């Protein structure tokens, strides 16, 4: 009797589950429609299960339809069916919610499309009216008259534009660099070039004027109308998605990026040519090329090799008969980009991309000396029709090492003098006084560019070293003092903390060299060495200056103050090679030094330098012969 009761209960549960399954199929039929439900069940292999009297087959068919998965085959146990039906109900509820949201969105889209359609019809009506009436209205004509009125207003020419070099002879102090640049551009086989040098020395003007000179040479490939396209690498912004690229060019799609209206209406993309194409047949000058995005540099290198720029767009259809011929040509063959690249930078060569350097010749522009600045100021004064005394020119040279800034300072002094005179002279030149220049300097809060000056004298414990920052050499004032050690044999050596670790190593090298060569044991003295101004020196080149200063402080022998020295001192007293020799020579010239001592290992490749005596030495004794001529006599007497 108990078993019969259980069978009856199970039969009742199966009937309830069958009715639930049937109800769910009925609900699905109301959602999809009876015919669509049958078609869907047939595609999913669930039609036979729907018609089966077996509850398990019905549940499998329900799962296939609800989850749209024809691979469901496993038969669930009776006890699992209620949970399965609950999951199916949740899935159906989610489907209904999603369908409701989609329907709401479709209704909104339909309304928006209707609104846009009505706006488009209104736009067409306005265009038809404009075609009948013409594009001009009273308001547009008024704006045109105002624009023409503004076009007629002009100010005087910029002083800096007037004073810009007009010929290669006007570029002062760069004869060697200009000749090198001329040989590389004015040739049947012109080369890409990178110009290195400090700012304001004429790199841009030299490139422009060399191109003009090359046009007049019979063997030059540049025609009379060869362009000089100038841009700045620091401002060349571009989009990695190639939406815009002013340097290489890009494609403006017909929807979002401003293709011409007649092309946009036909769904035709429009290639926009870049600066490399505009420079074809001429020179593309990129100032501050070291500031360019590295990826953009790599793309530029590809163009230098191919001499063409290719374009691509998913909107372009080569079979569309509405595509203009020039657009078709650009997409099929690309745009020409056959030019000579001239890049300028104030960075060191090591900071420039090796891939770019390998494709370019390199030309180095020198820093300007005070004599060069004086010459530039005098030439600019003549073009301004101004008269300026020599003392005022030297005053300008004391406050800047840039030709551009010197010319700007002259223009400021010219304005000061003109306001004092109240009017331009009817004949002759406007006089500019030293006081006018001082007033312009004070207004700009300028400081002297060279604070250390040579002098015809001798001092104990003081000498001049040389450093380099970028392309600018500078003189370092190094001083040393010595006192008998407080405790015999326990002397100390100190140097200012800002000098840098490599300079402190030079201090210990100096102690070893002095003891080995002259038997000077620094343990008997307390020695203090100072780099005046707290300069930090990242290199061993100040070793010779430090050694000489200590030698002078300990022996009491004075050193000449019109000589600058550079070089690393080894433990055995040898003077070893250093870098930046040319920059250091020019730094010494700016400080008015009569002589510079350089390691013998740096002699190769250094040509004669005007305005300063360059002496090469191999060891500490040879250096002392020039800086302290009486050292042998003094030490022998001691």
Please list the active-site residues. 541, 584
**Do 631 and 460 contact (CB within 8 A), yes or no?**
no
3-state secondary structure of 112: helix
Alpha carbon distance 53, 17 (integer Å): 12
Per the rule left: phi > 0, alpha: psi between -120 and 50, beta: everything else, 359 is: alpha
- Mind giving me the DSSP string for 19-53? HHHHHHHHHHHHHH-HHHHHHHHHHTT-HHHHH-S
611: left (phi over 0), alpha (psi -120 to 50) or beta: left
Q: Can you read off the two tokens belonging to residue 31?
A: 């959602």
Angle between helices 175-185 and 203-215 (to 10 degrees): 50
| Gyration radius of the chain over CA positions | 42
What is the DSSP annotation of 395-432? HHHHH-S-HHHHHHHHHHHHHHHHHHHSS--SSS-EE-
Sign of CA dihedral 320, 326, 327, 331: positive
H or E element in which residue 252 lies: strand 249-252
Q: How far is CA 309 from the centre of its chain?
A: 22
Q: Which two tokens stand for residue 581?
A: 């020799």
Identify the CA nearest to 373 among candidates 202, 168, 178: 202
Question: Distance between CA atoms of 276 and 410, rounded to whole angstroms?
Answer: 37
Nearest to 342 by CA among 401, 298, 300: 300
> What are the phi and psi torsion angles at 479 (to 5°)?
-130, 150
Structure tokens at 467: 């450093």
For residue 290, the Cα-to-chain-centroid distance in whole angstroms is 5
In 3-state terms, what secondary structure has residue 231? strand
The DSSP annotation for 324-382 comes to: -HHHHHHHHH-EE---EEEEEESS-GGGS-HHHHHTSEEEEPPPPPHHHHHHHHHHHHH
DSSP letter for 574, please.
B
Sign of the dihedral defined by the CA atoms of residues 49, 55, 61, 66, in that order: positive
């Amino acid at each position: 009797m108990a078993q019969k009761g259980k069978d009856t209960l199970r039969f009742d549960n199966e009937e309830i589950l069958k009715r639930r399954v049937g109800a769910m199929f009925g609900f699905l039929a109301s959602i999809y429609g009876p015919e669509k439900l049958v078609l869907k069940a047939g595609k999913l292999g669930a039609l036979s299960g729907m018609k089966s009297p077996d509850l398990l087959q019905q549940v499998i068919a329900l799962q296939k339809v609800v989850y749209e998965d024809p691979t469901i085959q496993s038969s669930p146990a009776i006890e699992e069916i209620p949970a399965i039906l609950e999951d199916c109900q949740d899935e159906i509820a989610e489907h209904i919610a999603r369908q409701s949201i989609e329907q709401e969105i479709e209704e909104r889209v339909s309304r928006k499309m209707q609104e846009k359609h009505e706006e488009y019809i209104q736009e067409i009506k306005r265009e038809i009216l404009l075609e009948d009436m013409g594009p001009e209205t009273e308001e547009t004509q008024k704006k045109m008259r105002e624009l023409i009125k503004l076009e007629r207003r002009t100010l005087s020419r910029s002083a800096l534009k007037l004073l810009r070099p007009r010929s290669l002879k006007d570029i002062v102090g760069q004869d060697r660099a200009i000749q090198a640049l001329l040989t590389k551009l004015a040739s049947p086989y012109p080369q890409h070039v990178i110009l290195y040098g400090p700012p304001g020395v004429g790199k841009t003007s030299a490139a422009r004027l060399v191109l003009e000179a090359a046009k007049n040479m019979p063997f030059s490939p540049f025609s009379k109308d060869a362009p000089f396209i100038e841009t700045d690498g620091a401002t060349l912004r571009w989009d990695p998605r190639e939406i815009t690229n002013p340097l290489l060019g890009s494609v403006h799609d017909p929807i979002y990026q401003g293709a011409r209206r007649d092309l946009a209406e036909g769904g035709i993309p429009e290639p926009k040519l870049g600066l490399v194409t505009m420079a074809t047949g001429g020179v593309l000058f990129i100032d501050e090329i070291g500031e360019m995005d590295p990826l953009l540099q790599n793309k530029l290198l590809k163009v230098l090799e191919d001499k063409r720029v290719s374009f691509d767009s998913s909107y372009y259809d080569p079979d569309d008969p509405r595509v203009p011929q020039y657009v078709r040509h650009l997409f099929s063959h690309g745009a020409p980009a056959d030019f000579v690249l001239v890049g300028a930078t104030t960075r060191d060569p090591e900071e420039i991309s090796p891939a770019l350097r390998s494709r370019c010749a390199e030309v180095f522009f020198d820093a300007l000396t005070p004599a060069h600045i004086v010459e530039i100021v005098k030439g600019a004064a003549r073009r301004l029709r101004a008269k300026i005394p020599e003392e005022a020119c030297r005053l300008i040279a004391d406050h800047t090492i840039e030709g551009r800034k010197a010319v700007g300072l002259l223009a400021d002094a010219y304005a000061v003098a003109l306001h004092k005179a109240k009017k331009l002279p009817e004949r002759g030149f406007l006089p500019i006084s030293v006081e006018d220049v001082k007033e312009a300097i004070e207004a700009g809060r300028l400081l002297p560019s060279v604070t250390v000056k040579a002098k015809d004298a001798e001092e104990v414990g003081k000498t001049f070293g040389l450093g380099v920052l970028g392309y600018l050499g500078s003189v370092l004032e190094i001083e040393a003092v010595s006192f008998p050690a407080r405790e015999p044999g326990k002397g100390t050596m100190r140097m200012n903390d800002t000098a840098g670790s490599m300079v402190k190593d030079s201090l210990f090298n100096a102690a070893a060299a002095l003891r080995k060569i002259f038997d000077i044991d620094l343990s008997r003295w307390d020695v203090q060495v100072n780099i005046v101004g707290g300069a930090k020196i990242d290199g061993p080149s100040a070793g010779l200056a430090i050694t000489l200063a200590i030698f002078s402080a300990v022996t009491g022998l004075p050193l000449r103050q019109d000589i600058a020295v550079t070089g690393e001192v080894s433990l055995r007293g040898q003077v070893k090679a250093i870098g930046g020799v040319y920059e250091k020579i020019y730094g010494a010239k700016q400080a008015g030094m009569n002589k510079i001592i350089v390691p013998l290992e740096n002699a190769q490749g250094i040509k004669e330098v005007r305005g300063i005596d360059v002496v090469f030495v191999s060891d500490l004794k040879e250096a002392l012969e020039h800086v302290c001529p009486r050292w042998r006599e003094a030490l022998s007497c001691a």
